[in-house]
C-alpha cells in the first residue's frame, strides 16, 4: 500500500493541497465535506467554515449562503450542530436523524405550541409552558435531533428562534430516502474522501453505533461498492476506483506542509478516538497536520479571553523537528499571537 499516494490524494480531496480561489470550486468542496461545522471555540452565530481550504474569507461567504438559505443548520453526526446544502438536506437528515420513540405529555405540549404559535424563542416557550430554561432546552434539542423543530440562527448573540420543522421547510420529506440507503451513501462519500479508512475512522466520523457501522460496511462490501483488505492485521477499506493509486509502486513525493487543525474539522473527526488516545491527559487546543498526517498538537488551556500556547508538541525526528521549528511556530502563530496569546514552548523547550 503506497502511503505517500494515499496522503497526496487525501490532501487533494479534502482541499488542503490547493486552497480554492473560486466560489464554485469551494461550493463543490463544501458538498464533499458535508456536514460542515463552525470552527471549534468560536462565538455563537458564526457561520460554518472549512479552514485552510479557501484563499478568500469563507466565513463571510457562508454568512451570505446561510442568509440565502442555500445551506441549512441542523444536528448531524450524533447531534453535532453543522450545515448541509439545501438540496442535500433530505439525504443527511435521513442518515443522521434520531427519531423519538415515545413523546411524553410535556414535550408534546411544547411541540403543539410551536406548531400553533411559532416561531417562538426559548423565553416565550418558558412562559407559555411555565417551565425553566434547561427543561425547555432539553426538549428542543431532542426534537431538533429528530428533525421535528428548526432553529432559526441569528448572526449575533441574540436568542435563537424556534419553529416546527414542517412549518419552516414544508418542501422537505426526510422519509423520501430510507435510513439504510442514506447512511450507505454518506459513508461511501466519506470513504472516497479519505481514500483509505478503517472501521474506527468511519465510526468516529459518523458517530453511528458500532453495530450500525458494522452493518453499513458489510453492505458496501457485499455490493462491491468498497474493497476491504487486511494489512498488518488491520482491516482497511477503499473504493474500487482508488485501487490503482493505492497500490501503485511508484512513490510520489508529498509536498511539505503544516496546517493547524481544529476539533470540528472533517479530518480531525475521522481520527478523533486515535488522537484522544494519543494525547490522553493533555489539554489540546488544536492539532498539527504535518506533510499530510497528524504529527503534533498545540497544548494549552482554552479561555474566552486571552490564553497562551503552553507548548507545541511536534512528533518528528529530533533533527527534522529542529529544522522545521520556525515554520511550525509561524503557522501556529497565525492563530495565537500577541497581544492575546504567546507561544511559550516548542517541544518542551522555551521559545
Q: Domains for the chain: give ranges and CATH numbers.
A: 105-168 (1.10.10.10), 179-246 (1.10.10.10), 258-350 (no CATH)
Least confident of 62-71, 147-156, 240-249: 147-156
Distance CA 228, CA 221 (A): 7
Q: Is 304's pLDDT higher than 90?
A: no
Q: Is 154's pLDDT higher than 80?
A: no
Give 348's pLDDT tier (boundaries 50, 70, 90): very high
Q: Which residue has the cell 452493518?
A: 215
Distance CA 315, CA 231 (A): 24
Give 149's pLDDT tier (boundaries 50, 70, 90): very high
351 grid coordinates: 521559545
- pLDDT score, position 253: 79
Q: Which residues fall within 8 angstroms of residue 140, CB to CB, at 6 or more apart?
A: 110, 122, 125, 149, 151, 162
Give 156's pLDDT tier (boundaries 50, 70, 90): low
Per-residue pLDDT tens digits for 186-245: 999 999 999 999 999 999 999 999 999 999 999 999 999 999 999 988 999 999 999 999
**Secondary structure (3-state) at 350:** strand
For residues 315 and 301, is the Cβ–Cβ distance under 8 A?
Answer: no
For residues 29 and 43, is the Cβ–Cβ distance under 8 A?
Answer: no
Chain CA centroid to CA 265, Å = 5
Distance CA 239, CA 229 (A): 11
- pLDDT score, position 43: 76
Cα maximum dimension of the chain: 69
Give bridge partners of residue 294 from the DSSP assignment.
Answer: 289
Q: Is residue 339 reached through a cis peptide bond, with omega within 30 degrees of 0 on the bond before it?
A: yes
Distance CA 291, CA 8 (A): 9
If you average pLDDT over every residue of the chain, what do you get?
Answer: 94
Chain CA centroid to CA 331, Å = 22
Higher-scoring residue by pLDDT: 296, 42: 296
Per-residue pLDDT tens digits for 166-186: 999 999 999 999 999 999 999
Give bridge partners of residue 299 from the DSSP assignment.
Answer: 284, 311
Q: Is 136's pLDDT higher than 70?
A: yes
- pLDDT score, position 158: 61
Query: Percentage of the chain with pLDDT > 90?
Result: 90
Nearest to 126 by CA among 114, 117, 135: 135
Rounded average pLDDT over 293-313? 94
Q: Is residue 187 reached through a cis peptide bond, with omega within 30 degrees of 0 on the bond before it?
A: no
Rounded average pLDDT over 152-158? 66
Nearest to 226 by CA among 199, 253, 251: 199
Give bridge partners of residue 238 from the DSSP assignment.
Answer: 227
Least confident of 41-45, 224-228, 278-282: 41-45
Nearest to 20 by CA among 161, 131, 12, 134: 12
Amino acid at each position: 500500500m503506497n502511503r505517500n499516494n494515499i496522503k497526496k490524494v487525501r490532501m487533494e480531496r479534502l482541499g488542503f493541497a490547493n486552497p480554492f480561489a473560486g466560489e464554485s470550486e469551494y461550493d463543490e468542496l463544501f458538498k464533499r465535506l458535508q456536514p460542515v461545522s463552525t470552527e471549534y471555540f468560536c462565538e455563537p452565530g458564526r457561520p460554518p467554515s472549512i479552514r485552510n481550504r479557501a484563499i478568500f474569507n469563507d466565513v463571510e461567504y457562508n454568512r451570505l449562503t446561510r442568509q440565502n438559505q442555500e445551506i441549512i443548520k441542523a444536528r448531524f453526526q450524533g447531534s453535532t450542530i453543522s450545515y448541509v446544502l439545501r438540496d442535500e438536506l433530505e439525504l443527511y437528515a435521513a442518515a443522521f436523524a434520531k427519531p423519538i420513540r415515545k413523546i411524553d405529555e410535556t414535550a408534546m405540549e411544547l411541540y403543539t405550541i410551536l406548531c400553533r404559535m411559532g416561531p417562538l424563542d426559548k423565553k416565550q416557550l418558558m412562559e407559555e409552558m411555565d417551565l425553566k430554561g434547561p427543561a425547555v432546552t432539553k426538549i428542543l434539542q431532542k426534537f431538533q435531533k429528530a428533525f421535528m423543530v428548526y432553529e432559526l440562527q441569528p448572526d449575533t448573540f441574540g436568542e435563537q428562534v424556534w419553529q416546527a420543522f414542517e412549518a419552516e421547510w414544508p418542501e422537505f420529506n426526510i422519509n423520501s430516502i430510507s435510513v439504510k440507503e442514506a447512511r450507505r451513501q454518506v459513508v461511501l462519500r466519506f470513504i472516497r474522501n479519505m481514500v483509505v479508512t478503517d472501521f474506527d475512522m468511519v465510526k468516529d466520523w459518523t458517530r453511528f453505533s458500532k453495530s450500525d457501522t458494522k452493518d453499513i460496511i458489510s453492505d458496501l462490501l457485499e455490493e462491491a461498492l468498497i474493497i476491504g483488505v487486511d494489512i498488518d492485521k488491520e482491516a482497511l477499506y477503499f473504493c474500487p476506483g482508488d485501487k490503482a493509486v493505492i497500490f501503485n509502486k511508484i512513490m510520489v513525493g508529498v509536498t511539505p506542509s503544516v496546517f493547524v487543525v481544529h476539533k470540528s474539522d472533517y479530518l480531525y473527526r475521522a481520527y478523533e478516538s486515535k488522537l484522544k488516545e494519543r494525547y490522553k491527559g493533555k489539554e489540546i487546543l488544536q492539532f498539527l497536520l504535518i506533510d499530510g498526517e497528524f504529527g503534533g498538537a498545540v497544548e494549552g488551556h482554552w479561555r474566552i479571553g486571552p490564553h497562551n500556547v503552553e507548548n507545541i508538541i511536534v512528533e518528528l525526528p529530533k533533527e527534522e523537528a529542529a529544522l522545521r521549528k520556525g515554520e511550525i511556530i509561524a503557522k501556529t502563530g497565525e492563530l495565537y499571537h500577541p497581544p492575546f496569546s504567546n507561544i511559550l514552548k516548542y517541544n518542551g523547550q522555551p521559545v
